[in-house]
Amino acid sequence: MRGQKPVVVAAAVVAALCLGTGVAAAGDGWGAPKPGSDGAGDSYYPQDGNGGYDVADYNLKVGYDPASHQLTGVQDISARATQSLSSFDLDLRGLTVDSVQVGGRPAKFDRTGDHELVITPSRPLWRGERFHVQIAYHGVPAPISDPALGDNGWQYAKAGGAFVAGEPKSATTWYPVNDTPLDKATFHLAITVPAEWGVIANGRERGTHPAPGGGVTHVWAEETPIVPYMTTVAIDKWTFDRQTRRDGTPIVSAFAPGTPDSTKQAEGRLPEILDFLESKFGPYPIDAAGGIFLNEQIGFSLETMSRPIYSAGWAGTVPTIVHENAHQWYGDSVAVEHWRDVCLNECFASYATWLWKEAKEGADLNKQYADNVKKATTAFWNGKLYDMGAGHEFTYVYSKGPMMLHALRNYIGQDAFDFVLKTWPSLHRNGNASMQEFQRYTELVAHRSLQGFFDAWVYGTGKPADQYLYPGGLKPAA
């Protein structure tokens, strides 16, 4: 999000670090069936997500009428029980549930809190069992109001269309979901709208066809496992631009009416941007690419997987496009383990714009760094890059974050830094990671303890001591 806001080493790290994170621990759940937990246990948002199962795929069929804002949906979920379950929860806000089936049989359901859908199947589900859930529902979606970032989730365009964008919550406003970064799944969407409207979503286009009751059904498929808040759909009178990367990856971008030519020209550089980011971060980890350019001022742009969504105005620039696509490596393919780790997303995407300026515009990053240090305030140095607290995730990670990474680059040396930057996303591809794991990996590559550096820049507050503030070739501004 951007808002107003060597082989031996790698092999060792794969064995040591890439054990994966599950929704349930390996020793749990062998006893008598019991309810799955109603939250995934994040320290900031403990009730978001659920425990007891792991989703493999969401297969969502939606009908939407822009005139009435009415949405009807049927969600088919493929999952596996990670404990023996007497009941389990999904997350859904506001919409009316009409029926639930588990394994093709009617299931009891109840609503609790502001987003819990409690499902009791007709028989228990046993640990390791694969099962299917079908939920029929309807209603008028409403966004989640966030005091810092405004509306999140399903939102309405002034021209009559709709779009979905929000972090850390979004998906629950339009479909039933296990709303935690720890449960990635593939995502298949078939959405029916009146014929005059266009649709864009995550992943690859799978075609359109007339709907039996009228309108047109648009089919999209995201085969890269995705975190729920990174799913999106957008409905408008789009102008589409389609390209193909040299490796065959399809690029589909959509521009709302009124999008300026300068924005279209900036997005036209996406193949060049992706090539550049690959040179820094390794192979592109997603199966499609592109962008969704709104004619709405929403206060942020967001790294919705394979197809970031951009606010109107300030967001339609090359640096923002670099930032949001850098997230496809740092934030999307490798997602946070907990929201306190969000620097692993935003610090790296923000530093990607520094790297772009260095490579494409000849920027002297050491001078830029020194100038930023000179201008930095006490409040800036006290800004947190780790465990910053719920509601404060998207603050200093954009400004202090890239400075931390430039200092790290000089502290461990160019070769080690480049190796870490390029191999980390591959080591954790389609998984989750923590800041402590990143620190341990960087220490392995650098062959030294980095505790002092991470304490000074990441875990602590205050201006770092000179040994961490001016390492390597860094010097104070004259």
In tens, the pLDDT along 170-197 reads: 999 999 999 999 999 999 999 999 999 9
DSSP state of 326: H
Residue-level length of the chain: 478
Would you say residue 6 has pLDDT above 60?
Answer: no
pLDDT of 146: 79
Q: What is the pLDDT averaged over residues 90-112?
A: 98
User: At 2, is the pLDDT very low, low, confident or very high (cuts 50, 70, 90)?
Assistant: low
Contact 87, 32 (CB under 8 A): no
CA distance 25 to 23: 7
Of 11-15, 228-232, 459-463, where does mean pLDDT reach its minimum? 11-15
Q: Work out the burial of residue 41: count CB atoms within 10 Å of its CB; fewer than 13 is exposed, 13-18 middle, 19 or more buried.
A: middle
Q: What is the pLDDT averaged over residues 238-253?
A: 96
CA distance 366 to 363: 9
Q: What are phi and psi of 277, to 5 degrees?
A: -65, -35
Q: What is the pLDDT averaged over residues 92-107?
A: 98
pTM of the predicted model as reported, rounded to 2 decimal places: 0.93
Q: How much is the mean pLDDT over the chain?
A: 93
Q: What is the pLDDT averaged over residues 272-289?
A: 98
- Domain boundaries in the chain? 33-229, 339-470
Q: What is the pLDDT averaged over residues 4-12?
A: 41
Q: What is the pLDDT averaged over residues 231-249?
A: 96
CA distance 459 to 82: 33
Residue 267 parent element (H or E): helix 261-267
Give the β-pairing of 116-120 and 108-112.
antiparallel
Q: Which tops the pLDDT comparison, 153 or 3?
A: 153
CATH 1.10.3720.10 given to domain 339-470: no
pLDDT of 120: 98
How many Cβ atoms are within 10 Å of 11's Cβ, its own excluded? 11
Q: What is the pLDDT averaged over residues 243-253?
A: 96
pLDDT of 10: 45
Would you say residue 15 has pLDDT above 90?
Answer: no
pLDDT of 28: 56
Would you say residue 158 has pLDDT above 60?
Answer: yes
Quick one: CA dihedral 205, 245, 416, 413, positive or negative? negative
Q: What is the pLDDT averaged over residues 375-387?
A: 97
CA distance 171 to 227: 9
Q: What is the pLDDT averaged over residues 427-436?
A: 98
CA distance 350 to 357: 11
Terminal-to-terminal C-alpha distance of the chain: 34
326 contacts: CB under 8 Å, gap ≥ 6: 277, 281, 348, 349, 352, 353
Would you say residue 299 has pLDDT above 70?
Answer: yes
CA distance 219 to 223: 13
pLDDT of 31: 83
Q: What is the pLDDT averaged over residues 299-307?
A: 95
376 contacts: CB under 8 Å, gap ≥ 6: 463
CA distance 38 to 117: 9
CA distance 385 to 346: 10
Instruction: Assign a CATH topology to domain 33-229.
Output: Immunoglobulin-like (2.60.40)
CA distance 75 to 61: 6
Query: Which among 79, 12, 21 has a CA at the least distance from the CA of 336?
Result: 21
Task: Give tens-digit pLDDT for 345-364.
Answer: 999 999 999 999 999 999 99
User: At 3, is the pLDDT very low, low, confident or very high (cuts 50, 70, 90)?
Assistant: low
Residue 369 parent element (H or E): helix 365-375
